[in-house]
């Protein structure tokens, strides 16, 4: 149970508010930032540098819009929208539960408990979201005209037909997704909540928001930089491939080692710029939205 204005909030009610706030925050973030996720995935999926299809973020946007139509910058948005409520709800709800668990009865979580709570919240989130990620990445890396592409549901049915729910189907690349989400959330939650206590106190609401946004932005940026090799591996493993063509990328470590061997260390950081442009601001948007919605629900319900 938690206390709000000296009244006790039942666990079930507090949990529902965490889930509602997390799901809404995720929906807001994905609607604003998805085009940058498409660009990030395109950079990660292309091979080599000298024969690169895209030379910059603006070049990628221009070529996608010119060759595939304007709506193509929203390719694959339906799976994350459908996934955002359970994904972000899982992230924030499980973070709160893991935080309590790893505090071992203490009312004040330690730095270590916040980091562990973020890690395990990310691992739990990855299991929930991976089938949606497989569909999203398949759609994003398919360079057909938007109007000629299969729908999200059609793509999901095709992937399920190819490999069912297993490692060759809707749970392809699960290990890479676990690495990506576990590392990102460990750093994101650990950094944000450990640094937030040092934010200067201010009577100005605007300054308070500024410092919270800056902390969320920094947390999202650091987390995105550290976890990107797992993100590149995930994109390669889950991406579009020609019918009957042998798959080159199959497991997380095998993919990371192969990309490093064939394309160099730099290739493991492909897509970092659009990822930072998305998840830096996205990290701020998501955390501020969650805290504001959660606090509003606690005050009004």
| Tokens coding 221 | 């940026």
Mean pLDDT rounded to a whole number for the chain = 88
Continuous H helices in 142-198? 152-163, 174-196
Q: What local confidence, expressed as pLDDT, does residue 51 receive? A: 43
Tell me the pLDDT tens digit for each residue of 191-208.
999 998 888 888 888 888
Tell me the pLDDT tens digit for each residue of 64-97.
999 999 989 988 888 778 776 677 888 999 999 9
Rounded CA separation 160/149 (Å): 17
Long-range contacts made by residues 73-76, C-beta under 8 angstroms, separation at least 24?
73/34, 73/35, 73/38, 73/39, 74/34, 74/35, 74/38, 75/38, 75/139, 75/140, 75/142, 75/146, 75/149, 76/37, 76/38, 76/41, 76/135, 76/136, 76/137, 76/138, 76/139, 76/140, 76/152
Q: CA-CA-CA-CA torsion for 180, 182, 184, 189, nearest 10 degrees? A: 170
Tell me the pLDDT tens digit for each residue of 107-123.
889 999 999 999 999 99
Rounded CA separation 34/274 (Å): 10
Residue 6: left (phi > 0), alpha (psi -120 to 50), or beta? left
Q: What is the pTM of this model?
A: 0.82
Q: Whose CA is closest to 288, among 153, 196, 198, 202?
A: 196
Q: Extract the residue ranges of the chain whose pLDDT is less than 50.
A: 3-6, 50-51
Long-range contacts made by residues 47-56, C-beta under 8 angstroms, separation at least 24?
47/262, 47/263, 48/263, 49/263, 49/266, 49/267
Please report where in the chains the tokens 């193509």 appear, as a residue. 72
Q: Whose CA is closest to 132, among 179, 85, 79, 169?
A: 79
Task: Please check whether the domain covering 2-300 is classified as CATH 1.50.40.10.
Answer: yes
| Tokens coding 289 | 């939205």
Rounded CA separation 22/85 (Å): 7
């Amino acid at each position: 149970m938690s206390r709000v204005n000296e009244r006790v909030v039942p666990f079930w009610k507090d949990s529902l508010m965490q889930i509602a706030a997390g799901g809404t925050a995720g929906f807001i973030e994905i609607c604003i930032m998805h085009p940058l996720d498409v660009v990030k995935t395109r950079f990660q999926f292309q091979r080599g540098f000298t024969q690169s299809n895209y030379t910059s973020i603006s070049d990628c946007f221009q070529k996608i819009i010119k060759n595939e139509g304007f709506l193509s910058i929203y390719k694959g948005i339906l799976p994350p929208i459908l996934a955002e409520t359970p994904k972000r709800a899982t992230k924030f709800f499980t973070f709160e539960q893991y935080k309590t668990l790893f505090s071992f009865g203490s009312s004040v979580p330690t730095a270590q408990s916040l980091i562990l709570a973020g890690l395990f919240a990310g691992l739990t989130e990855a299991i929930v979201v991976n089938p949606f990620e497989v569909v999203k990445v398949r759609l994003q890396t398919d360079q057909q005209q938007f109007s000629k592409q299969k729908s999200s549901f059609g793509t999901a049915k095709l992937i399920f037909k190819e490999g069912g729910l297993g490692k060759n189907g809707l749970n392809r690349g699960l290990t890479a997704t676990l690495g990506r989400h576990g590392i990102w959330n460990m750093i994101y939650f650990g950094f944000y909540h450990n640094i937030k206590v040092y934010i200067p106190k201010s009577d100005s609401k605007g300054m308070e928001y500024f410092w919270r946004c800056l902390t969320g932005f920094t947390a999202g940026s650091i987390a995105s930089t550290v976890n990107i090799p797992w993100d590149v591996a995930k994109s390669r493993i889950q991406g579009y491939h020609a019918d009957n063509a042998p798959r080159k990328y199959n497991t997380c470590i095998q993919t990371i080692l192969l990309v490093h061997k064939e394309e160099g260390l730099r290739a493991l950081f492909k897509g970092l710029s659009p990822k930072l442009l998305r998840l830096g601001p996205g990290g701020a948007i998501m955390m501020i939205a969650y805290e504001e919605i959660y606090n509003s629900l606690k005050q009004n319900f």
